[in-house]
Chains A and B, each alone.
Chain A
């Protein structure tokens, strides 16, 4: 016991030292040989979803009674007004369980190839992500059986369920998760000026944004990682974003971080002090500090930025990349001048449409349904 304690205390001292030196780590780049240069692509409209399916999803997405104590819905953190993010540096998480990461926007979800900041789910696993959010103690802390029984007690939800599944189909947790996943994946961020430009109509882009687009694809090399219709390569990269000190300052956020490491097989979760990103999932040393490239669709509305929300504005994000990221980053300094940086910001702002999406349904009460159990 004494020896273990000594080792831990010594390790704690060492890790503090390491942190203070910010020792750069050898950085193998993530880029694999590619035959086709990465480029931006216009969003191809998906076939519109069945209205009944979307409506059931919308009702469920905004229903706080899916959470354990009935206080948090999907929309609590993925707010339509914030491009389905929340506007906070760190996600609020469940009540009295903080989170240690920034809430990712859901815009462009169906266009992405991997999900979550550590890329631990493939795009095809969206239902698993929804289930994790519903039942994890860090997010909604719900229970599958309770969710089903509460839905049965909510006539508006039951009406929406029956319109999709028929009058005699009892609600199931699989169907509930599916409907939420369908709704969450239905937001591409609208038809943006950049989409129009990629189709050949540059009239909606300002000259500054056109200049920014040229930089994005050229000197700034953003497109190397922010490519395709989602403006994401679906890979994890090491940028060496500064730590968000709030994670260790606020014990409720720390418990979520330690629990995350414990859940993913850290040999000594109590010794963990930072979010190691992809490494916690793969346990490959080369993945330490790597986070998935986020989509940039709707990015002007999803501030603050990065996996831990430490960069407050698009300007600060561009500055950070222009410096070549933090010490030990995969990024290279870009040498952009002030005019070029402003042009890039203008381009990034053109990745949002003006139309808002995802109106919240009106709230409604439980019914004392005599037939609810039948």
Chain B
């Protein structure tokens, strides 16, 4: 965890210690007392204790702006254009917005999005919404900056399949881009590195507006912002359901990696394109075959980053903000609704070799589950965040581009 504030790191260590203590306590109780119900274990932590060493939900702070990519209106506007511009992909078919569609919560409604033509992705693609607030990106925390993610997604064969050299030349034959890059970055010709800076700057504006999020209005003191069901859900979230243990802080995510035993995505067995993608990902990341069951047909999650067998099947805790718009859910998109997600956690999750001990059956009744869903929905804006699709300037013959550039410089 590079560049993380020391205080939070310390808190994490404390929490791990607390988890170990809890497990120890449980085993001691089991030994001493014989049969102990799971409900009794939940009582050990709940209701107050679970939240005690966990960051409470809070309003999002202002987005952190990296020193090497300061914001400006012109840069954000250029980034918006590039975000929607399919010419950044190999065959000019696929823009960032193809898989991160504003009208689909800045992600995609397919459990596994199509990606570049002739492909299908292996994971549910994460939303751009509030991605700017995460310290690491992707389900396995592989990337650390939006700038790097933009580059990675544009070039990955299954996503944008755009080679930087060709895409850069395309941008250079769009006179309006030549002008805009010149204005923002001061360069004679557009450069690919600058395109990624602009896209990242634009993405840093795609964040929840607290004034439009019922729960944030509630936190700000408007008691009527939440319906009663959501208020009851909030109490469950912090108490009996213990969601807060992992889903704390402004993002409602501990930014840690956990194995939940999420059910297998059936497309892994039925879709040839998904099978190609999964095997390719494993080969790319040099996953030794001994580690996966069927020979490269599984997603090893956090393991790709750490190479620690104890991390196989762990994925980053997602933010719970804007869930109303960002389904389907989980790293493989296997759950279509929030009800299914709550049911899954109520069961205590599924089976996995490294499954988190934090997941235990919750014993929620139907009303409590509905309350929890009502609360989760209150973490989303009243209406989805939509950004207008820009009209994109055309490529022009090179002679015209140069002529325009020369006449601009004369002025």
Residues of A that sit less than 8 Å from B by CB: 1-2, 4-6, 8-9, 12, 65, 67-71, 94-97, 137-138, 141-143, 145-146, 148-150, 152-153, 248-252, 254-256, 258-259, 262-263, 270, 273, 366-370, 372-374
Known: A254-B398, A259-B169, A372-B275. 18 other contacts (CB 8 A): A8-B402, A68-B116, A68-B118, A69-B93, A95-B93, A97-B90, A137-B162, A137-B163, A146-B158, A248-B399, A254-B397, A255-B170, A258-B172, A259-B165, A259-B166, A273-B398, A373-B295, A374-B295
Q: Does B118 contact A141, Cβ atoms closer than 8 Å? A: no
Looking at the assembled complex, report how far the CB atom of B155 sits from the nearest CB atom of chain A, in whole angstroms: 10
Selected from B186, B283, B294, the residue in CB contact (under 8 A) with A1 is B186
Is B37 among interface residues, defined by CB-CB distance under 8 A? no
Q: Does A69 contact B398, Cβ atoms closer than 8 Å? A: no
Looking at the assembled complex, report how far the CB atom of B274 sits from the nearest CB atom of chain A, in whole angstroms: 9
A145–B280 CA distance with the chains assembled, in angstroms: 6
Residues of A within 8 A of B276 (CB): 146, 149-150, 152-153
Q: Does B273 contact A263, Cβ atoms closer than 8 Å? A: no
- Report the tally of A-B residue pairs with Cβ distances under 8 A: 145
A71–B158 CA distance with the chains assembled, in angstroms: 15
Is B322 among interface residues, defined by CB-CB distance under 8 A? no
Q: Does B91 contact A141, Cβ atoms closer than 8 Å? A: yes
Residues of B within 8 A of A255 (CB): 166, 169-170, 172-173
Selected from A69, A97, A263, the residue in CB contact (under 8 A) with B116 is A69
Known: A70-B117, A262-B165. A94 touches B275 (CB 8 A): no
Q: Does A149 contact B283, Cβ atoms closer than 8 Å? A: yes
Residues of A within 8 A of B273 (CB): 366
Is B4 among interface residues, defined by CB-CB distance under 8 A? no
**A–B pairs, 30, beta carbons within 8 Å:** A2-B409, A4-B188, A12-B406, A67-B118, A68-B91, A68-B116, A70-B117, A71-B117, A94-B91, A95-B90, A95-B92, A95-B93, A137-B162, A145-B283, A153-B272, A153-B275, A248-B398, A248-B399, A254-B169, A254-B397, A255-B172, A258-B398, A366-B272, A369-B272, A370-B269, A372-B275, A373-B279, A373-B297, A374-B294, A374-B295
| Shortest Cβ distance from B92 into A: residue | A96
| Shortest Cβ distance from A252 into B: residue | B395
A369–B361 CA distance with the chains assembled, in angstroms: 36
Looking at the assembled complex, report how far the CB atom of A129 sits from the nearest CB atom of chain B, in whole angstroms: 18
Residues of A within 8 A of B283 (CB): 145, 148-149
Complex interface bits, B80-112 against A, C-beta within 8 A gives 1, otherwise 0:
000000010011110000000000000000000
Q: Does A270 contact B87, Cβ atoms closer than 8 Å? A: no
Q: Does A251 contact B396, Cβ atoms closer than 8 Å? A: yes
Residues of A within 8 A of B188 (CB): 1, 4-5, 8, 270
Is B270 among interface residues, defined by CB-CB distance under 8 A? yes
A137–B162 CA distance with the chains assembled, in angstroms: 8
| Shortest Cβ distance from A69 into B: residue | B117
Complex interface bits, B368-411 against A, C-beta within 8 A gives 1, otherwise 0:
00000000000000000000000000011111001001100100
Q: Does A97 contact B272, Cβ atoms closer than 8 Å? A: no
Selected from A145, A252, A372, the residue in CB contact (under 8 A) with B284 is A145
Residues of B within 8 A of A252 (CB): 395
Q: Does B409 contact A5, Cβ atoms closer than 8 Å? A: yes
A241–B283 CA distance with the chains assembled, in angstroms: 47
Residues of A within 8 A of B270 (CB): 368
Known: A145-B283, A255-B166. A368 touches B87 (CB 8 A): no
Q: Does B118 contact A70, Cβ atoms closer than 8 Å? A: yes
A372–B269 CA distance with the chains assembled, in angstroms: 11
Looking at the assembled complex, report how far the CB atom of B85 sits from the nearest CB atom of chain A, in whole angstroms: 12
Complex interface bits, B292-309 against A, C-beta within 8 A gives 1, otherwise 0:
001111000000000000
Residues of B within 8 A of A153 (CB): 272, 275-276
Residues of B within 8 A of A374 (CB): 294-295
A365–B27 CA distance with the chains assembled, in angstroms: 55
| Shortest Cβ distance from B398 into A: residue | A254
Is B161 among interface residues, defined by CB-CB distance under 8 A? yes
A145–B158 CA distance with the chains assembled, in angstroms: 11
| Shortest Cβ distance from B297 into A: residue | A373
Q: Does A369 contact B166, Cβ atoms closer than 8 Å? A: no
Selected from B90, B118, B186, B405, the residue in CB contact (under 8 A) with A94 is B90
Residues of A within 8 A of B92 (CB): 95-96
| Shortest Cβ distance from A142 into B: residue | B157
Q: Does B409 contact A9, Cβ atoms closer than 8 Å? A: yes
Looking at the assembled complex, report how far the CB atom of A312 sits from the nearest CB atom of chain B, in whole angstroms: 23
Is B337 among interface residues, defined by CB-CB distance under 8 A? no
Looking at the assembled complex, report how far the CB atom of A6 sits from the nearest CB atom of chain B, in whole angstroms: 8
A18–B402 CA distance with the chains assembled, in angstroms: 17
A9–B407 CA distance with the chains assembled, in angstroms: 9
Looking at the assembled complex, report how far the CB atom of A276 sits from the nearest CB atom of chain B, in whole angstroms: 16
Looking at the assembled complex, report how far the CB atom of B87 sits from the nearest CB atom of chain A, in whole angstroms: 7
Looking at the assembled complex, report how far the CB atom of B167 sits from the nearest CB atom of chain A, in whole angstroms: 9
Selected from A96, A263, A368, the residue in CB contact (under 8 A) with B91 is A96
| Shortest Cβ distance from A72 into B: residue | B91
Q: Does B275 contact A373, Cβ atoms closer than 8 Å? A: yes
Known: A2-B409, A5-B405, A146-B157. A368 touches B90 (CB 8 A): no
Q: Does B169 contact A258, Cβ atoms closer than 8 Å? A: yes
Residues of B within 8 A of A145 (CB): 157, 280, 283-284
Known: A149-B283, A248-B399, A254-B398. A68 touches B90 (CB 8 A): yes
Looking at the assembled complex, report how far the CB atom of A139 sits from the nearest CB atom of chain B, in whole angstroms: 11
A252–B271 CA distance with the chains assembled, in angstroms: 34
Looking at the assembled complex, report how far the CB atom of A245 sits from the nearest CB atom of chain B, in whole angstroms: 10
Looking at the assembled complex, report how far the CB atom of A322 sits from the nearest CB atom of chain B, in whole angstroms: 33
Selected from A137, A273, A373, the residue in CB contact (under 8 A) with B296 is A373
Is B189 among interface residues, defined by CB-CB distance under 8 A? yes
| Shortest Cβ distance from B272 into A: residue | A366
Complex interface bits, B144-176 against A, C-beta within 8 A gives 1, otherwise 0:
000000000000011001110110011011000
Q: Which of B163, B173, B283, B395 has the most CB of A within 10 A?
A: B163
A164–B346 CA distance with the chains assembled, in angstroms: 54
Q: Does B173 contact A251, Cβ atoms closer than 8 Å? A: yes
Q: Does A146 contact B280, Cβ atoms closer than 8 Å? A: yes
Complex interface bits, B59-87 against A, C-beta within 8 A gives 1, otherwise 0:
00000000000000000000000000001
Residues of B within 8 A of A138 (CB): 166
A218–B399 CA distance with the chains assembled, in angstroms: 45
Q: Does B272 contact A367, Cβ atoms closer than 8 Å? A: yes
Residues of B within 8 A of A149 (CB): 275-276, 279-280, 283
Looking at the assembled complex, report how far the CB atom of B41 sits from the nearest CB atom of chain A, in whole angstroms: 39
A71–B297 CA distance with the chains assembled, in angstroms: 26
